[in-house]
Structure 1
């Protein structure tokens, strides 16, 4: 499975948010998307998810036009219904996407994400970390071909962040493309196999994590942050 993005651009009047972005994403890997504030990461996610229309460019999934049902988007701030329980969210998704015999799989996701004891809790009563896990779980119930997670670790305490990292690592699948956007470069280094670096709407690096780590070593940098600052300040060599 692969998703191809070709010459994608998006502007908001005088602001060019995405500038001729081209990349090819494949399954069975966790891809990290990083960049400074305003780099265009969230705009890119929303275009791929079908929430925004680009000014130009093409997006194809396995050579075909991307259908809305094939992409699941988990925003930075979990968008749940506060008066519905966790289990009612699964039921709502099953009805919205005409998913049959969903109960057993939903129960398995509750167990996998350690949400069993929260099954009947209202979403409005959950912590941000719990809400993030519910968002990911109900997204997986749809069996999306592409899963986009925008800053999923934002606002989490260290323990919740580490637990969510572990859950995301387990999402790697031969029939699923997974992208994670985060400002936490240590987390990206820990869970991602490949990294895309954006700056001012431009894709300035698209590399395997191992290649980046080798370059960091060759240049005498100490951390991925040093590498990131060089790339986003000076641009790609």
Structure 2
């Protein structure tokens, strides 16, 4: 199945974010990609193209403000909400079948998104974790040493907004960990895992030898395979079973 590509603009607060829709020709599930801090939609685009080819409408986009010193988590959460709402406005979308794929900081925001918008499938690659305090403080001004101390302990769901969202999420979850990650340690991954008590299913994969950014092409391919296989099983597989049962 071939995918159509359409460049779009997402408007928010008199500013614009650039995005790209990739979609097949029929009404299908939607997949929203959220990149990490300092990243862009570039890496997501390659994976989105493959998933769109499976029969999904995919939206990748660039979070605002990564070059600005004053951007906050509130700013970027609003960016994500705007992108989600734009995805659901696409005429090919089945609005009851939405997946969100978040990486690092984007994974953290994606987890919070599930408490604000309907999400059926949630994929988190090396999801970061932040204290609830100083939510409106510019992200660049947060204490990095304190963050690493926080992430290196088991954080309970009731004390953290992202983890609490995971604790009440009832869809399917994929968590992908990097074995040699120096930004998101194993304890953070286990905090997310422990929070997912009511999910329909939980899949946890570790990419051996991988660092946080997947700088090795082999690690990049390993993640692509994990994600595409999971999307195929969870999203495409379910839609096919529905069609066959009719």
TM-score w.r.t. structure 1 length?
Answer: 0.33
TM-score w.r.t. structure 2 length?
Answer: 0.32
Q: Greater relative contact order (Cα 8 A, min sep 6): structure 1 or 2?
A: 1
